[in-house]
C-alpha cells in the first residue's frame, strides 16, 4: 500500500507517529541460526499486517498498532541488499561506572493500545506463528502512570515533536530513498534505585531532571545545571534543535523491588539519539554526565530499523540474493570511552547530519 501524491507514490510508514497509548508490550527476539527459521520470519513478515487487522477488529476503539523493526545482524540474511544506510549494531557507551550495554536482539515488536488485553492477544498471535523460529531475548509490559509520568515522578515525553516536525524528526526521507518512510528505533531498559531517589529532596530531583516536578515547567537557564537531563538531551545544529520521537513506558514489579522505564526513541537518523546517550553517559564536556544515571541503570540496549509498511507488505518467503546471504554479521561496536566524546553540539554545532532539519519548540 502506498500514498499517492502526484506521479510518485510515497511509501506508507508503520504507525510510528500514532498517538501515545495507555498500554504497550515490548517484545525482542533473536532468530535461530538456520535457513528454516529465517524462511519462517520472512513469510510471517508479509502476513503480519493481516494478523494485526484481525486482532484490532475485536476492539477498533482500542487503537491497536504494532511496529516491527529489525537489527543490523539479520537484515542482509532476511532481505538482502540494499540495506538502510545507517543501520548498525547498538553503540555502547562506558565511562566510570556508567554503562550503556548492547544486548541481543534481532527483531523488535512494539505493540501499543488503549488496553493491555488486546496487546497481550496480539503478542500471543505473533508468538504462535514464530515461536519455533526464535528465542525471546526480552519482554516487557509497559503502562501509563498517572499524567504520563515515569516512576521517578516526573512527566516523560514533554518535548516530543508534533505534526510536521514529528514526521521530519522520526521518518527517513529522500536522503535514503529506498527506505523512505522508515525509522531508526533505539531501545534501552532502565532500572531505578527508588530508595536512593526518594531520599533526595524535591529540589535536588528537579535540578537533576531540569524541570519542576509538579508542574513540569522547565527550570530557567540561570537555575538549571548544565548536566541536567533535559539539558544534555538537547541536540542543536546551526541553531536548530534535532528531535526524536519517544514513547517511553514505566514498568515494574513492586513485590520484587523492580521499578523501571523502557526507553524507546524513533528517529530519522540514529546519530541524534546516540549523541544524546553520549552526552548522558560520557558527558558534555566529558565528565559532566547526567546525574540521573547515579540512580538509574541501563540493562539492555538495541538499535533497529522499522521499514515502511509498504516494504513489509512486499516481503515474501523467497530468500534474498546469495551474495547477501554470504555477508558476515557486523561485530558490535566497541564501547565509547570518555576520551572519545566530542562536544559536537557546541561551537560550530556540526553533527555531519547534512539536510536534517528540526525546529525547537519553545
| Active site members | 156
Mapped onto helix, strand or coil, the DSSP state of residue 197 is: helix
C-alpha cell at 6: 502526484
Cα distance between residue 40 and residue 338, in whole Å = 43
Q: What are phi and psi of 6, to 5 degrees?
A: 75, -155
Cα distance between residue 48 and residue 235, in whole Å = 36
Residue 310 CB neighbours (<10 A): 19
CA-atom Rg of the chain in angstroms = 20
**Cα within 13 Å of Cα(182), Cβ side:** 26
- What kind and span of H or E run contains 202? helix 202-209
Distances (CA, A) of 99 to 28, 67, 227, 287: 20, 27, 17, 14
Bridge partners (DSSP) of residue 99 are 94
Contacts of residue 124, defined as CB under 8 A and 6 or more positions apart, other chains included, come to none
Mapped onto helix, strand or coil, the DSSP state of residue 228 is: coil
Amino acid at each position: 500500500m502506498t500514498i499517492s501524491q502526484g506521479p510518485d507514490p510515497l511509501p506508507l510508514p508503520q504507525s510510528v507517529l500514532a498517538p501515545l497509548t495507555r498500554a504497550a508490550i515490548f517484545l525482542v527476539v533473536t532468530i535461530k541460526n538456520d535457513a528454516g527459521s529465517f524462511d519462517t520470519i520472512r513469510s510471517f513478515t508479509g502476513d503480519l499486517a493481516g494478523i494485526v487487522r484481525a486482532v484490532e477488529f475485536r476492539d477498533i476503539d482500542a487503537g491497536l498498532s504494532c511496529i516491527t523493526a529489525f537489527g543490523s545482524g539479520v537484515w542482509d540474511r532476511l532481505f538482502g541488499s540494499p540495506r538502510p544506510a545507517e543501520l548498525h549494531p547498538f553503540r555502547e557507551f562506558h565511562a566510570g561506572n556508567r554503562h550503556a550495554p548492547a544486548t541481543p536482539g534481532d527483531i523488535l515488536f512494539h505493540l501499543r493500545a488503549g488496553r493491555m488485553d488486546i496487546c497481550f492477544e496480539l503478542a500471543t498471535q505473533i508468538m504462535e506463528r514464530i515461536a519455533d523460529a526464535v528465542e525471546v531475548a526480552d519482554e516487557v509490559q509497559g503502562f501509563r502512570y498517572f499524567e504520563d509520568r515515569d516512576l521517578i515522578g516526573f512527566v516523560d515525553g514533554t518535548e516530543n515533536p508534533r505534526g510536521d516536525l514529528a514526521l521530519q524528526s522520526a521518518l527517513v526521507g529522500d536522503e535514503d530513498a529506498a527506505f523512505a518512510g522508515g525509522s531508526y528505533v533505539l531501545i534501552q531498559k532502565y532500572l531505578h534505585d527508588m530508595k536512593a531517589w526518594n531520599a533526595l529532596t524535591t529540589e535536588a530531583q528537579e535540578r537533576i531532571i531540569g524541570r519542576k516536578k509538579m508542574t513540569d515547567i522547565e527550570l530557567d537557564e540561570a537555575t538549571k545545571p548544565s548536566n541536567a537531563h533535559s539539558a544534555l538531551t538537547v541536540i542543536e545544529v546551526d541553531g536548530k534543535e534535532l528531535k526524536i520521537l519517544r514513547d517511553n513506558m514505566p514498568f515494574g514489579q513492586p513485590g520484587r523491588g523492580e521499578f523501571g522505564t523502557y526507553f524507546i526513541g524513533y528517529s530519522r537518523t540514529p546519530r541524534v539519539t546516540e549523541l544524546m546517550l553520549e552526552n548522558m553517559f560520557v558527558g558534555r564536556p566529558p565528565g559532566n554526565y547526567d546525574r540521573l544515571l547515579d540512580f538509574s541503570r541501563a540493562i539492555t540496549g538495541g538499535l533497529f530499523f522499522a521499514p515502511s509498511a509498504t516494504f513489509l507488505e512486499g516481503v515474501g518467503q523467497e530468500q534474498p540474493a546469495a551474495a547477501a546471504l554470504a555477508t558476515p554479521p557486523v561485530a558490535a561496536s566497541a564501547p565509547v570511552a570518555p576520551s572519545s566524546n566530542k562536544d559536537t553540539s557546541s561551537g560550530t554545532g556540526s553533527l555531519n547530519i547534512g539536510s536534517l532539519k528540526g525546529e525547537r519548540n519553545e
